Structure 1
Amino acid sequence: EEEGSDDEGEPTATLEEVLIAWDALSPIKVGGVDVEPGRIYRAVASRFGEDNVERTGRWGDVAGSLGVSEKDAEDLRRGFLKAKAAVARAKRQAAASTAKEHDGKRPSSSALAAPVARHSKKFKQGENAVQAVVASLQARTGRSTKDVLLALHLVTGEYSRALLYLLATPRAPVGFPLWMPEQDAFLLESADRGDIAALSALSPRFSLADIEARLTYLRTLRSRVNPAS
């Protein structure tokens, strides 16, 4: 498997990058069950840090944290490397495209919206579903659209295509960082079990327990870096 590397750290991902990476990944078998490599990558990177896992070989720990048998740790390792390679390819492709189309300058919000808008028909049904959830959460929490969308991003742990479409519109911010839990922790909004249940419907690959575990992890991170929170 190509591992892929990014010597420049963790740049903010463009919408093009995310779409390319989304389409590049396909499920692998982990203990006989199909699991998206991207989910493994996010779980590994957020819980242990991708460099730490690769350098120390803690794949048994990763398996345990995901509720997977330790004997399937090799499947997790392969899935992680497959996802990492896809992200690295996406970053290289997006960088080349951005340099060509924008003379090396980072594209504006309107430019980022263009490739997503081309997929608007595919997004429409999902967009309506997301808008319904956002409206419900706004009514229950009194939060702004921006706050609710940030919370959606954090607790689902993934960018749904519908959410990408919303992020490319003037109603919401464009371009969140990918796999940066320390920064995400500062943005974490409070969510009761009803909110989490509503959000789990938005991300069918993640169970209620998965989302609650992510929330717990992010809150723990926030308490470490900002004890007063």
Structure 2
Amino acid sequence: MSFIKTCLLILGAGVLIAQSANAKCINVTLPNVLNLGSCLGPTLVTCPDTSDGLLVDLARILRCVLQILPQVGNPVSVLHNVVGLLEAVVARLGLSPDIGALSKILCEPLGLPVFNCGAISPGNIACQTPLDISLPSAFNIGHCLNTTLLFCAENSTITEPILNELVRSLGCILSVAPEGLQLDLARSLVCPLVNVVTSSLDEFTEFLPFRFLTRGVTRTVQQLTNTLVGSVPSC
């Protein structure tokens, strides 16, 4: 079972939460791993006061976290670890492909656990200066953030539980964000998730180069990606 299926909000990073002076926002400290801070830039340094501003910032957070995952796992393993998020996205878009079954086929070609799905390998990657962001308190963000699993001090080595929680908490954005933003957030994830799926297929077919062995799963993946891409203006 994927470890992101439960709560879905903000890239559940390392997390110190404090009520801001005006009680309308909370300050959150996120772990700065794999240049996540560079990707986020000034995102959420100030608390967004409009839905449009919140959508842009939350979408960037989601995309930035997805962007760093290939640095700590092979494509098929990354897909396995974001299955819950992908299922949430396709459901929010009104689609119904069996993502879990597809991931299992890709993870275990010919029934063999070739790609070690379920594991990600951070190695000796060190955390940088933690990131301070500000979020509206009205969206109940706090219950998605685990202060024990997700804190990573500067120069500390990142651990697998931190990465697991970082991925798990992505889904929190879709469940806790205001209803009016959820569909737009799901659409913002389509293109990066399509990249994850197609990269997984590439790795799968490289392992099994004979077309007759991969024809069925290739067709299934292409149908899925075509459907996803068709739900957004462009990728």
Do Structure 1 and Structure 2 share a fold, with TM-score over 0.5?
A: no
Greater per-residue strand proportion? 2
Query: If the length of structure 2 is used for normalisation, what is the TM-score?
Result: 0.27
Q: Bigger relative contact order, structure 1 or 2, given CA contacts below 8 A and separation 6+?
A: 2
Greater per-residue helix proportion? 1
